[in-house]
Amino acid sequence: MKNEINDLQTELRGILETEGALTDEQVARVDAIETELAGLESEARSADARAKAEARLSKGNFSGGFSVKADTRSDVERFADWAIGGDTRALSNGGASGEGNLLPLDLQNELVKKLNGVPGIRQAVDVRTYGHDVEIARVASRPTITGFTGEEVAYGNFDPSFDKVRSYAFKSAVQTLISEELMQDARPAVLAEIMEAQMKAHALFWDKQYAVDGAGSSTGPEAIFDDSVADLNVMDTAAVDTITIDDLYTAYLEALPAQYRGGSFSWVMHPTVEAVLRTERDTTGRFSLLGQANGTDAGLPGSTIAGIPVVISTNAPTLATAQAGTAPAVMMMEKSAYRIFDRMPLLTQRDEFSYGATGQVAFRSKMRSDGRWLAPWTSVAVNLKQA
């Protein structure tokens, strides 16, 4: 965009340097350039405003009046600060005084933490936020034309049936109690870490609900790794108990109806399934995903396979589960096939009053969400062939 603005300004400058009066054609071109510049400058301001807003929204937003201080130290440096912190205070988890995890008296900036798990399902599907429950109309059957209509012959009836998809708002909620002394003595970032840990817990919980645990109907989200979903395309791998790169090509080229190609697809799988694909070797002993001696493969872990992005979820079925025949090994998901219905943002709260008599402060967070299949016929479940 900047180059376009510079080019237009250069052209405008060249016209204005013309000696004498401008021709009608030059006047018209000057007016056109002014219009184009105004439009480009407006787009530039809009893009800049959007970038600033997205940068602000990407930062942690913890209610309760504390802020997070930037910390550029390494984990080793943080751990060293922790180790030499001196005396400790107890982080009360609702039990008697002294129970819970011991924390240094002088926490410099933040806790040393290891929050495992990759909440990946949300990367592969459509995620939207609503302020209330919604119902979405859906075509339940897709009739087809089966023959020609003769001259002066009555038209055949074309009567699709409809149903609706309803979203609910199931809730996950968690509370952490800390002593008021810890809250007063610790640095603000410690409190932010508590809330961040809660948020990660929510993310992993919901990832599992979307992936395999969802019971559907009014009792939970619908599970994605479920080959019994009506109208979902299902295929088995060519070999027993294993999956290959060729199986993924077959899923896209044969199991997926051709009219749905060109959508926004992702491979969704567990790391143990990805490991089988990433370590597959050809007859020469080279990795299948590195076809050329100097190739760099567009599909290093976390990128693509066969040009389609790979989404990893630690809550997806493991290779062993897929080998047992109880769940698909891989889901080829079209983004609009499944929707996550978030009920407003994840909310946090600091409560200094409910447990004030015992000198404790409560930190709470809650998340309300749901997940529903909208168009399963645009996706493919890849099962491991059974013996």
Query: CB count, 10 Å around CB of 35?
Result: 10
What is each CA distance from 217 to 2, 19, 21, 207, in whole angstroms?
51, 77, 75, 18
Q: What is the chain's percent helix, strand, coil content, to nearest 5?
A: 35, 25, 40
State the DSSP H helix or E strand holding residue 82, giving kind and residue range, or none if neither.
Answer: helix 75-83
Picking from 68, 82, 99, the residue whose alpha carbon sits closest to that of residue 199 is: 68
Percentage, residues of the chain above pLDDT 70:
76
What is each CA distance from 249 to 213, 256, 307, 378, in whole angstroms?
28, 10, 10, 16
What domains can be seen in the chain, in order of their start residue?
1-18+30-46 (no CATH), 63-144+153-387 (3.30.2400.10)
CA–CA distance, 215 with 219 (Å, rounded to integer): 6
Asked if pLDDT for residue 93 goes beyond 50, the answer is: no
Which neighbouring-strand residues pair with 154? none
Burial of 219 (0-12, 13-18, 19+ CB in 10 A): exposed
Q: What is the pLDDT of residues 233-268, one digit of tens each?
A: 999 999 999 999 999 999 999 999 999 998 899 999
Total-model pTM: 0.65
Of the ranges 78-82, 98-102, 109-113, 163-167, the best mean pLDDT one: 163-167
Grouping H, G, I as helix, E, B as strand and the rest as coil, residue 336 is: helix
Percentage, residues of the chain above pLDDT 90:
29
Q: What is the pLDDT of residues 29-52, one digit of tens each?
A: 888 888 887 777 777 777 777 777
Asked if pLDDT for residue 381 goes beyond 60, the answer is: yes
Lowest mean pLDDT segment, chosen from 17-21, 199-203, 287-291, 294-298 = 294-298
Q: Is the dihedral of CA 53, 58, 63, 68 positive or negative?
A: negative
Q: How confident is the model at residue 222 (pLDDT cuts 50, 70, 90)?
A: very high
Interstrand relation of 347-351 and 360-373 (parallel, antiparallel or unpaired): antiparallel
Asked if pLDDT for residue 7 goes beyond 60, the answer is: yes
Would you state the pLDDT for residue 48? Answer: 76
Q: How is residue 24 written in tokens?
A: 């009608």
